[in-house]
């Protein structure tokens, strides 16, 4: 079985978080099928859900595959907003996490906003 440095299972997941965030695998299955970067994305998602953006950003910055990191960034912002509140959340997210992206992706992200 693969050894991951840290996973969501080390962070006192509640039953509600497991359900909302889709963490349905047992810890054993999770360790078997999850890569290090995927585990970091899950930790990023967990702390976004907990509204601890500083902690989420720590995990986001540790994602080694920068293309994967950029895809997660774009998916998190989303491209469909139904309210001013959702649009404002995406704007704040983009500003807060932009400096965590690899430099070659910052320009791409700005171009995709235009």
- CB count within 10 Å of CB 29 equals 11
Structure tokens at 108: 């791409």
SS3 label, residue 34? coil
Q: What is the mean pLDDT of residues 84-105?
A: 86
Looking at residue 29, what is its pLDDT? Answer: 92
Looking at residue 101, what is its pLDDT? Answer: 87
Contact between 88 and 76 under an 8 Å Cβ cutoff? The reply is no
- Comparing C-alpha atoms, which of 37, 36, 49, 44 is closest to residue 89? 49
**In 1-114, beta strands by DSSP E:** none
pTM: 0.82
């Amino acid at each position: 079985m693969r050894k991951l440095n840290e996973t969501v299972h080390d962070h006192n997941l509640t039953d509600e978080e497991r359900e909302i965030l889709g963490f349905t695998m047992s810890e054993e299955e999770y360790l078997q099928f999850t890569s290090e970067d995927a585990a970091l994305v899950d930790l990023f998602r967990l702390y976004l859900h907990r509204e601890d953006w500083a902690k989420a950003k720590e995990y986001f910055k540790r994602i080694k595959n920068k293309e994967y990191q950029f895809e997660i960034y774009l998916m998190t912002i989303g491209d469909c907003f139904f309210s001013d509140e959702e649009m404002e959340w995406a704007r704040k997210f983009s500003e807060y996490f932009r400096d965590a992206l690899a430099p070659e992706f910052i320009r791409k992200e700005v171009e995709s906003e235009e």
